[in-house]
Amino acid sequence: MLTKMLTSALIAGAAAGLIAALLQLFFVQPVLLHAELYEGGERTHFAAASGHDHGAGAAEGHDHAAPAEGHDHAAPVEALAAEGHAAPGIGFDAPRDGLSILFSIVVYSGYGLLLVAAFALSEARGHTVSAREGLLWGVAGFVAVQMAPAFGLAPELPGMAAADINARALWWIMTVLLSAGGLWLVAFGRNWTVWALALVMLALPHVVGAPHPADFTGPTPPELAAQFAGRALGVGLAAWAVLGLFATTLWTRARAA
């Protein structure tokens, strides 16, 4: 039975990891490479010229102040070609992209092992995990591992200001553990005392607060940072949903065999 558990977890994790890697290559990596142009100084982001007026001047027919030379509103990645720049992320860089795909498969295989272990633990408590519940399990994993930590520490691009990495790692681990435990108590708790404890566990990391730098500075445009965070979380949700569906399907088949 242990062999079947491991096989189910690894197959589901590898499939989800591959899907996540492909989505990242198409949607997330172009934004990442675009940000690296700002980090390396090849592109520069400036604030609007001080004379630029969006208020009464426009209503009175006055001309807007022209942007300063080199003014850049952090155009989306798709607009780079129109500006005469090569769009980043086009093509396949075998060493970099190959390692990214491999890393994604390894990471989601690990998530698959944790998810299947949770299946076994829930069945030991008398709850049968069906394939139809896989989506909920996957979404719960996404909330615990990605969405809850992102509430305090959003996915970061190169060139963004950040607090000490050890402090951030400690807060991230605490958030994942407390979020996973809180969701478990929400799902399997049987009284209000347990559910109240679950809410405390879910809220505690955010009450404590994630570590942030004293000053928010850096060359990366905030528009790119927002686009990167949104795409990274979207890809994470899709991958976790696939992982939950695949893992529960393979788990139920292995258990019935």
Residues with Cβ within 8 Å of 127's Cβ and at least 6 positions away in sequence, in order, are 188
Report pLDDT digits (tens) over 36-93: 888 776 767 664 444 444 444 444 444 443 344 444 444 444 444 444 444 454 456 7
Confidence of residue 158 (pLDDT cuts 50, 70, 90): confident
Report pLDDT digits (tens) over 132-149: 788 999 999 999 999 999
For residues 163 and 212, give the distance between their C-alpha atoms in angstroms, rounded to a whole number. Answer: 5
Asked whether the beta carbons of 201 and 179 are under 8 A apart, the reply is: yes
> How much of the chain exceeds pLDDT 90, in percent?
49
Full-model pTM: 0.79
Q: Which of 46, 41, 40, 38 is nearest to 77 (CA)?
A: 38
Q: What are phi and psi of 186, to 5 degrees?
A: -60, -40
- In the Cβ-directed half-sphere of 147, how many Cα atoms lie within 13 Å? 18
Helix (H) or strand (E) holding 55: none
Tell me which residue has tokens 């930590």: 149
